[in-house]
Amino acid sequence: MVTNLQNSVWLLGAGEGGHGLTPVGLFAYAFLVIAIIFGILTASKNGLNPRYFTNRWTQRTEQLYLFLENMALGIIGPHGKRYMPILFTFWLVIFISNLFALFMPSAPTADLSFNLGMALIAIGYVQYEGMRANGVGKHWTHFAGPKLPIALIPITMMIFVIEIISEAMKNLSLSLRLFGNIDGGHLAAESLNSLGKHIIPVGGMELSIPFGAFLLPIKLLTVVVQALIFTLLFSVYLSLVTHHDDHGDEHATAAAH
């Protein structure tokens, strides 16, 4: 019995050393997240009709879709609608995974490797779209900054290297931000729970107070905000490489930072 319980904890919880999920654990969580997503989408799909949606799930997912579409159109521009599948998928996966983090021992987004995978897809897709929109050469020379005299080639090269590092760091910033918030929330809740461990002696037993539960409201806020931030930044990055208006780029860069 105890062995089975330990196996379950191993499956769903942290791996050795308490950092991140085991591969099987991660995929078990990912499978659960995807199953829930498809459950929600199936319920929503049943309510689709050409007139008006009466199904509550359909109404909610439509609202989410329209919210993300407005965000994409507002940040990326009129062509932002073509990125809806990837934005919608990211938002759903991150949001459902973050919800898991509230009630389960761990969550996919509490795993740095999972978040890095999402970030690599996001930034890779941004580079792909940049090359498609501007051409391969123009996209990469764009990292070298403005055209300078030949005497200043070292500066151009430095700018290029810095920009490339900056692009690479976007992966880290996206993944570490999400990981830090979700895993940090877990750690904070665990720490608070440990403060309340065995502090009420009742009939020879010592009851605990789950102080970590008091963090639930702020963690709930984090669930939504982190999903929003990831998709928002992804939209901004897409806007930077697909916008042809340099003036607008400056604003978008400022917003991204």
Give residues in contact with another protein (CB under 8 A).
15, 17, 19-21, 23, 26-27, 30, 34, 37-38, 41, 44-45, 48-53, 61-62, 65, 79, 81-82, 84-86, 88-89, 92-93, 111-114, 116-118, 120-121, 128, 132
Helix axes 216-242, 153-195, angle to 10 degrees: 170
Which residue, 20 or 212, is less far from another protein as judged by CB?
20
Q: How many other CB atoms are found less than 10 A from the CB of residue 48?
A: 11
CB of 185 to another protein, least distance (A): 16
Which residue, 37 or 256, is less far from another protein as judged by CB?
37
CB of 198 to another protein, least distance (A): 28
Distance of alpha carbon 21 from the chain centroid: 17
By CB neighbour count within 10 A (0-12 exposed, 13-18 middle, 19+ buried), where does 46 fall? exposed
Tell me the three state secondary structure of residue 118. Answer: helix
Reported in sequence order, the residue ranges of 137-235 that DSSP labels E, i.e. its strands, are 200-202, 205-207
Q: Tell me if 105 sits within 8 A of 12, measured CB to CB.
A: yes
- The contacts of residue 140 (CB under 8 Å, 6+ apart) are 131
CB of 41 to another protein, least distance (A): 4
Alpha-carbon gap, residue 78 to 62, rounded angstroms: 19
CB of 126 to another protein, least distance (A): 13
CB of 86 to another protein, least distance (A): 6
Which residue, 41 or 228, is less far from another protein as judged by CB?
41
Which residue, 81 or 198, is less far from another protein as judged by CB?
81
Alpha-carbon gap, residue 94 to 229, rounded angstroms: 10
CB of 178 to another protein, least distance (A): 12
Which residue, 79 or 159, is less far from another protein as judged by CB?
79
Which residue, 144 or 237, is less far from another protein as judged by CB?
237
